[in-house]
């Protein structure tokens, strides 16, 4: 049985290949557990009845990913695959290619929550949600962060930055002040935690994109969206001491990357919920 079926246009082969690399890295999936017909190593077997096998696999796959672009939405085969999966009442994960928005979707899939290849935080959610659908544990984010970067930045037509662990933070005064205040705010449980978030964001994005102002602006937008999510604070079902411990851990692990801090907290919170249910 195929674990993940990736529906896409052959014109989006490069993006499909990067999504496959991300899933292999993040979820430790075998090559024969993924069907992606435009990517070498994931095509149909030689001699297979293409239409019949695709029909069986797109319905039977445990997870189905639809890469949605202007090309795929104009493809009769992709529309058939999406419609067949939706009609079967099986889970369907829409993944928006660069430049696409949910407003471009039509028909039944317009009602499905779509995640964007342009957002690191949403790609982390994509990995997390697929892991849940498959009933497996994803790797630590540090393991596949470079694959996330490749998907995000290739859509903008620029090379991905080096992995996070290879980039020194430097000794920027604003960053150090903000990190210190963030830790004190966690301990004091105040709203002061993100007072200097903009200084941290500027420092972080300047380091990643020193010569590319377009990508720096994109980076800053993603980080500010993550800050807005972090400001929502403690979920009602999580005890205060547990939440403060999780927030302290994720702040220490990702002092200048709010998008990764959001993902870290989500993983920890969901882990606590699973443990508490047993």
- 226 pLDDT more than 70: yes
Q: Which comes out higher in pLDDT, residue 109 or 27? A: 27
* Confidence at 190, pLDDT banded by 50, 70, 90: very low
Q: What is the mean pLDDT of residues 113-124?
A: 89
pLDDT for 209 beyond 90: no
Would you state the structure tokens that stand for residue 197, as one six-digit string? 């978030």
pLDDT band at 107, cuts 50/70/90? Answer: confident
User: CA-to-CA distance for 69 and 196, rounded, in angstroms?
Assistant: 37
Which of 17-26, 88-97, 269-278 has the lowest average pLDDT?
269-278
Question: Residue 215: how many CA atoms within 13 Å on its side-chain side?
Answer: 20
Q: What is the pLDDT of residues 258-273, one digit of tens each?
A: 888 898 898 899 888 8
Question: Which one has a higher pLDDT value, 178 or 2?
Answer: 2
User: Is 44:38 a contact under the CB 8 Å cutoff?
Assistant: no
| pLDDT value for 193 | 66
Confidence of residue 278 (pLDDT cuts 50, 70, 90): low
Sheet with 63-68, side-by-side order of all strands: 34-35, 4-7, 63-68, 93-96, 115-116
Supply the pLDDT for residue 12: 92
The whole-chain average pLDDT of the chain stands at 83
- Residues 12, 69: contact at Cβ < 8 Å? yes
Task: Tell me the C-alpha distance between 200 and 223, whole Å.
Answer: 10
Q: Which domains does the chain have, with CATH numbers?
A: 4-148 (3.40.50.10140), 168-277 (no CATH)
**Amino acid 211: pLDDT:** 82
**SS3 helix, strand, coil % of the chain, rounded to 5?**
60, 5, 30
Q: Is the model's pLDDT at 236 over the cut of 70? A: yes
Q: What is the pLDDT of residue 204?
A: 83
- Is the model's pLDDT at 128 over the cut of 70? yes
The per-residue pLDDT for 13 is: 92
139 DSSP 8-state letter: P
Q: Is the dihedral of CA 131, 136, 137, 143 positive or negative?
A: negative
- In what helix (H) or strand (E) does residue 87 lie, and over which residues does it extend? helix 76-87
Strand (E) or helix (H) holding 35 = strand 34-35
pLDDT, tens digit, 9 for 90 and up, residues 166-181 = 444 444 544 454 445 4
- Tell me what pLDDT residue 43 has: 93
Q: Is residue 125 exposed (0-12), middle (13-18) or buried (19+ Cβ within 10 Å)?
A: middle
- pLDDT at 189 > cutoff 70: no
Backbone phi, psi, residue 255, to 5°: -65, -30
Q: Taking the CA atoms of 181, 187, 190 and 193 in sequence, report the sign of the dihedral they define.
A: positive
Higher pLDDT, 153 or 214: 214
The answer to whether residue 26 scores a pLDDT higher than 90 is yes
């Amino acid at each position: 049985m195929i674990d993940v079926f990736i529906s896409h246009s052959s014109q989006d082969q490069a993006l499909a290949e990067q999504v496959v690399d991300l899933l292999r890295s993040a979820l430790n999936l075998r090559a024969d557990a993924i069907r992606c017909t435009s990517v070498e190593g994931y095509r149909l077997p030689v001699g297979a009845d293409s239409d019949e096998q695709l029909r069986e696999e797109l319905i039977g796959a445990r997870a189905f990913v639809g890469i949605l672009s202007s090309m795929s939405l104009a493809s009769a085969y992709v529309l058939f695959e999406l419609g067949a999966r939706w009609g079967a009442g099986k889970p369907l994960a829409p993944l928006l290619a660069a430049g696409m928005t949910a407003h471009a979707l039509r028909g039944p899939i317009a009602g499905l929550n779509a995640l964007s290849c342009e957002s690191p935080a949403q790609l982390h959610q994509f990995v997390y949600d697929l892991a849940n659908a498959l009933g497996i544990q994803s790797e630590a984010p540090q393991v596949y962060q470079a694959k996330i970067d490749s998907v995000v930045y290739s859509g903008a037509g620029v090379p991905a930055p080096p992995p996070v662990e290879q980039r020194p933070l430097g000794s920027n005064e604003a960053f150090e002040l903000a990190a210190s205040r963030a830790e004190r705010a966690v301990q004091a449980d105040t709203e002061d935690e993100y007072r200097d978030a903009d200084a941290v964001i500027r420092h972080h994005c300047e380091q990643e994109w020193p010569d590319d102002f377009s990508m720096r602006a994109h980076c800053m937008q993603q980080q500010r969206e993550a800050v807005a999510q972090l400001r929502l604070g403690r979920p009602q079902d999580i005890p205060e001491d547990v939440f403060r411990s999780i927030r302290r851990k994720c702040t220490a692990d990702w002092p200048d990357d709010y998008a990764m801090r959001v993902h870290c907290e989500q993983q920890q919170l969901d882990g606590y919920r699973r443990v508490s249910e047993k």
